[in-house]
A and B are shown apart, each in its own frame.
Chain A
Amino acid sequence: MDFRYLPMTENDKKDMLKAIGVDSSDELFSDIPKDILLKEPLKLKKPVSEAELKRELTQMANKNYNLTEYTSFLGAGVYDHFIPSVVDHVISRSEFYTAYTPYQPEISQGGLQAIFEFQTMISELTGLPIANSSMYDGGTSLAEAVTLSAGQTRRKKVLVSKTVHPESREVIETYARGQHIDVIEIDYKDGVTDLEQLEAHLDETIAGVVIQYPNFFGQIEPMAKINKLIKNDKKTMFIVSSNPLALGFLTPPAEFGADIVVGDTQVFGIPTQFGGPHCGYFATTKKLMRKVPGRLVGQTVDEEGKRGFVLTLQAREQHIRRDKATSNICSNQALNALASAVAMSSIGKHGIKKMTLLNMKKARYAKQKIQDLGVDIAFSGPFFNEFVIKLPKSVSEVNDYLLEKGIIGGYDLQTVYPELKNHMLVAVTEVRTKEEIDTFVKELGVVLNG
């Protein structure tokens, strides 16, 4: 069979083997011990032509219920937002997506500058002066923040609110085990971190406190009070995980004293794509600049004084520090950071506020309509674009019904919070229309009263 990615002709091959000084390419593999040299071809599916493969994989894709055909109220950390067309046109430029990490800055100015701009946008949203070039996702970024706090304070205990995304908490657990860090979870009360319990656990052994803002239930944590409690000990770090879109409306975490702010920029220009790749961000203070994990792009000048960009402060990183490095991250999410930068540029300084307000107003409309059905709203505090409802039936039963009506219902909280039986986390973004919300509420009424 001919393969369109393999250009060597038989003549090329003959000439090259001759130049190498061997009779056959097998000789080039003669250093592999006979005992392990494969005798049989690998048992894989047969190669397929482009047209056939496209057909097969399109059919496979069509087996999935996708968000362009179903109306979704599912969020819980991954959101269905509008993606401007410009985003895909930019990231489809192969000068960007077929490049490697910009180790040769003179021919990578495009990618480097785009990331420098991304760092600036994250810094603007979080209110912190330093942002890195990206992390794998919000969850691992948060775990790296935790290990950074332990390393910096030389303490081995962190407090994590139970209102932090459950999967991020699981990732923190795994990373913490590697570093022998104790993770203590703090309960919640009326949908936000229990301040009394937090206060009771705070002492001079705590490296950092992890809070999500808005939290997993969509609720706004009492940031000012939390910071006051944390800062009773000046070493303990305030680590905040934030949906960066919400920061278009909410006061930036830095203004509440956050030392590290992380999160996921999936909300800006990155499709849900079954959970990945998304794009973590990591922002911090000047003081921690030399402790930041991952790559940083910095501005400098060339020999003629012209502005240019390079990867900088690399002494922090694994390829220089090796076993002394505090993080092992190498590849990150550059192309997705680019996608988010394009989306943030498209939304712009004032558009972001409009976008957050659309999310918030639509969510409040949905909440009111659901409340009008006689359904309880679980938590009473201020929220962003997600809220928790308490149903008289199991969420899975309700969602099964909604699915028949072309609706993907909210997240079943009971699966990770056993105490929240029949509680659904409902997300409403700017892409949901009034009509879709009305239909959702109507069908919810049918299944609950039927």
Chain B
Amino acid sequence: MANKDFPLIFERSKEGRVSYSLPELDVPEVDLSEEFSDEYIRQTPPELPELSELELMRHYTALSTRNFGVDSGFYPLGSCTMKYNPKINEDIARLPGFSHIHPYQHPKTVQGALEMMYDMQQHLKEITGMYEISLQPAAGAHGEWSGLMMIRAFHEANGDFKRTKVIVPDSAHGTNPASATVAGFESVTVKSNENGLVDLDDLKRVVGEDTAALMLTNPNTLGLFETEILEMKKIVHEAGGRLYYDGANLNAIMGYARPGDMGFDVVHLNLHKTFSGPHGGGGPGSGPIGVTKELEPFLPKPVIVKNEDGYTFDYDRPQSIGRVKPYYGNFSIYLRAYTYIRTLGAEGLKKVSEYAVMNANYVMRKLESVYELPYKQHCKHEFVLSGKKQKKLGVRTLDIAKRLLDYEYHPPTIYFPLNVEEAMMIEPPETETKETLDGFIDTMLTIADEVENNPEIVQEAPHTTVVKRLDETLAARKPVLRYIKED
């Protein structure tokens, strides 16, 4: 069994098996050939699998055992905030009154949904310190792009068409520059200084009358708080640009500081990160945006309004950037986040950030003697180590990540930030116990030891997973992106 390929669902399929149950036709038969010429009628059926219901369940259950989630184990994946996904959230999202409502129902028939959305906006306004919120964007990157489109509309409404550039720190996530491009901007990089923070001199150098916005996460991607944020705000605002807050790292500061008070003009949140998602193996997410009063007219439409008859949608928004998504965003995801916020309240959310930051600092201090720590100050909810020392011994960060799999941990983020050599971005969320953190620390120390004394075991890892290291070059060079039946 060990060496046998795990079957695809198509390979389990057998002609004649069914797992569907359709009702009998209770209306008269119709001859569709009178209505459709042969040209429009599909001649060969799509090769969808044919299985009994049990076979189908066994297939997917087996697949699930070949997957690792937060419920499986510790997931210190930096920038992703892999916290516990509460089960009540799942139950609430499945209530028929929320899951089986249609976006085109008359507002009077969906008052409960609109009330939740409105109240969610009130909560997010308070948490971020922003003037207004739109729940429409589907994910973080979508929020970034929506926010940048608003900044563009704002400048253009002021008759200012020369602002073509968006400034992005060198440590930023790849979506930042990509979103800038998709919104029609050119992105310019601002360097980090020796403390891992935005270099103010470099910022002054790149900022100018062509600056549309500066995009920033705070704490930044290295997990460090941008202490000069108010000075940065001054520099950018004086040049006429606007400040964009990437909410990927909000988990560090809830109840301690708010992007609105730092001077940010547009904010997006990753509800699937900070507000307990879940991540779903890569989505669906939810990326609401918050704005200042001056940018409010440009919000995507429609917006929710409350009046004497209850809640409804306002489509009459002449300065709106338009629609960024059909309907009203990923409703059942922000419903989960709403459930989370209501469970914790202000007191709980502040504790979330307190413990997230404490956990990160604890793990960081326990590992800094063995792995290089490029920035020494207190971190926020995550920190970045460098595997430089280990690299000298012939072991890459990638190897260390793979070795962690043998110890049943999800590895840290290793593909960015780009400004740290052999980076390992570690984020131990607040929902983890001290015992879990200690176990992880011990393992990291053990691996460091292995790197020195038995490097092959690390270089050849993983040893215990259902597949060993996979040939990614082959996958890219000879792409096989779908199943083809072999005869």
Contact = CB atoms under 8 A, between A and B. Distances in A.
A403 B105 CA distance: 10
B135 to A, nearest CB: 10
A297 interface: yes
A110 interface: yes
Contacts of B28: 361, 365
Given A137-B138, A308-B467, A65 B101 contact: yes
B179 interface: yes
Given A47-B343, A274-B327, A174 B322 contact: yes
Contacts of B322: 170-171, 173-174, 177
A191 interface: no
A373 interface: no
Contact of A298 (B30, B98, B101, B476): B476
A179 interface: yes
B50 A349 contact: yes
A124 interface: yes
Contacts of B258: 36, 38
Given A19-B365, A274-B331, A66 B96 contact: yes
Interface stretch (A23-31, A195-203, A231-239, A442-450): A23-31
Contacts of B329: 275-276
Interface in A6-49: 6-8, 12-13, 15-17, 19-22, 25, 27-33, 35-38, 41-48
A178 B324 CA distance: 11
A129 B482 contact: yes
Contact of A348 (B19, B39, B255, B354): B19
Given A98-B69, A306-B3, A6 B352 contact: yes
Interface in A401-432: 403, 408, 411, 430
Nearest to B176: A322
B82 interface: yes
A135 to B, nearest CB: 9
Contact of A1 (B145, B347, B468): B347
Contacts of B480: 298-300
A262 interface: no
Contacts of A247: 42, 46
A309 B140 CA distance: 26
Contacts of B366: 19
Interface in A171-218: 171, 173-175, 177-180
Give chain B's interface secondary structure class: loop
Contacts, number: 695
A110 B97 contact: no
B401 A44 contact: no
A327 B141 CA distance: 10
B53 interface: yes
B109 A95 contact: no
A139 to B, nearest CB: 4
Interface string A310-352: 1011110111111111111111111110100010111111111
Contacts of B326: 77, 137-140, 165, 167-168, 171, 275-276
Cβ-closest 6 pairs across A and B: A275-B327, A61-B97, A335-B280, A275-B103, A63-B112, A98-B69
A133 interface: yes
B71 to A, nearest CB: 4
Contacts of B194: none
Given A102-B281, A274-B98, A8 B331 contact: no
Given A104-B410, A167-B323, A36 B257 contact: yes
Given A6-B352, A165-B326, A28 B378 contact: yes
Interface in B405-457: 405, 410-411, 413, 415-416, 430-434
B110 A64 contact: yes
B325 to A, nearest CB: 6
B479 A298 contact: yes
B288 to A, nearest CB: 12
Contacts of B365: 19-21
B341 A44 contact: yes
A296 interface: yes
A61 B45 CA distance: 40
11 contacts: A5-B348, A36-B262, A43-B126, A44-B341, A67-B102, A95-B68, A123-B482, A167-B326, A279-B284, A312-B479, A437-B27
B369 interface: no
A4 B419 CA distance: 38
Contacts of A272: 99-103
Contacts of B80: 100
Interface size on A, as a range, is: 35 or more
Contacts of B6: 109, 113, 307
A94 B85 contact: yes
Nearest to B483: A120
Contacts of B235: none
Given A121-B48, A177-B149, A302-B467, A307 B462 contact: no
A332 B281 CA distance: 9
A360 interface: yes
B193 interface: no
A64 B113 contact: yes
A178 B279 contact: no
A111 interface: yes
Nearest to B75: A100
Nearest to B62: A110
Interface in B377-422: 377-378, 380, 401-402, 405, 410-411, 413, 415-416
A106 B65 CA distance: 12
Contact of B105 (A74, A92, A108, A336): A74
Contact of A358 (B25, B36, B46, B50): B25
Contacts of B352: 5-6
Interface string A69-99: 1001010111010101010111011111111
Interface residues of B, number: 204
Given A86-B19, A331-B285, A96 B256 contact: no
A318 B141 CA distance: 10
Nearest to B416: A319
A310 B470 contact: yes
Interface in A331-385: 331-336, 338, 342, 344-355, 357-358, 360-362, 364-365, 382
Contacts of B109: 64-65, 403, 408
A382 B40 contact: yes
A93 B61 contact: yes
B20 A348 contact: yes
Interface in A380-401: 382, 396, 399
Nearest to B37: A382
A35 B9 CA distance: 58
A65 B106 CA distance: 10
A41 B255 contact: yes
B230 interface: yes
A8 B91 contact: no
Contacts of A310: 470, 472, 475
Nearest to B346: A42
B229 interface: yes
Contacts of A29: 253, 256, 357
Contacts of A16: 358-359, 362, 434
Contact of A96 (B101, B281, B284, B479): B281
Contacts of A80: 100, 102
A84 B229 contact: no
Nearest to A346: B19
A226 interface: no
A152 B98 CA distance: 41
Given A37-B257, A140-B142, A352-B45, A106 B466 contact: yes
B261 A44 contact: no
A251 B42 contact: yes
Interface stretch (B181-189, B205-213, B289-297): B181-189
A303 B472 CA distance: 11
Contacts of A298: 475-476, 479-481
B267 to A, nearest CB: 14
B43 A251 contact: yes
A101 B284 CA distance: 11
